[in-house]
Amino acid sequence: MRADINLRDDVVNLFLLPQVVAHQFLFSGKESEGIIARFGKQEATPREFFTDFLKVAQDEGRHFTLVAARLEEMGSFYGALPAHDGLWASAAATSKDITAPLAMHEARGLDVLPTNISRFRNGGNDTTADMLDSVVHPEDITHCAAGVKWGALKPPFNEEARKASGFGARWYEPLAVKEQGTNPTQHEGA
């Protein structure tokens, strides 16, 4: 977001923030479809892998539709303001690792959504805040659960490089697969 935009401004709260949120939902739905395409190719991939991520994609599509309809109720529409390509750039950068897009997008959404809900409420947009709080937030929790379920990290790890980056063992060992062959979407380099 541009540094000269003040998120406390009523016009920004009314139109920009819903545009950003809608864009994130559109992206997340596409990312879930991409996870299926990239990591669901193995013969042994259980049907549940597909149903879990199809549900995430379906939910995100519905979230987008809800926010897009809300924008129209407020006199705007999705696409009325330009969107950046930062989400797409991060998708390209994480395309070979099932855990990275989930951690970067869905899990991060859990962190920022309460702040966005507060921004909507503080700006007098309780309808949007209520929708995000009652529909989106609970479903995002299930999306992260799907990511944890299917995105376990597989050793071996480059411990030296991870430590140098500040990504020490305490961050990834709890997510590591303990027994080989327990996760059909395991891949090298996670």
- pLDDT given at position 165: 66
Question: Residue 117's closest CA among 103, 138, 102, 101?
Answer: 138
- Cα 38 to Cα 47: distance, rounded to the nearest angstrom: 15
d(Cα 149, Cα 183) in Å, to the nearest integer? 9
pLDDT block averages, 10 residues each, the chain of length 190: 49 71 83 80 79 91 94 88 68 65 68 88 90 91 80 69 72 64 43
Q: Which domains does the chain show, CATH number per domain?
A: 10-151 (1.20.1260), 153-190 (no CATH)
130, 136 Cβ separation under 8 angstroms: no
Q: List all residues 6 or more positions away from 37 whose beta carbon is below 8 Å from its beta carbon.
A: none
pLDDT given for residue 131 in this prediction: 93
pLDDT of residue 14: 65
What pLDDT score does 182 carry? Answer: 45
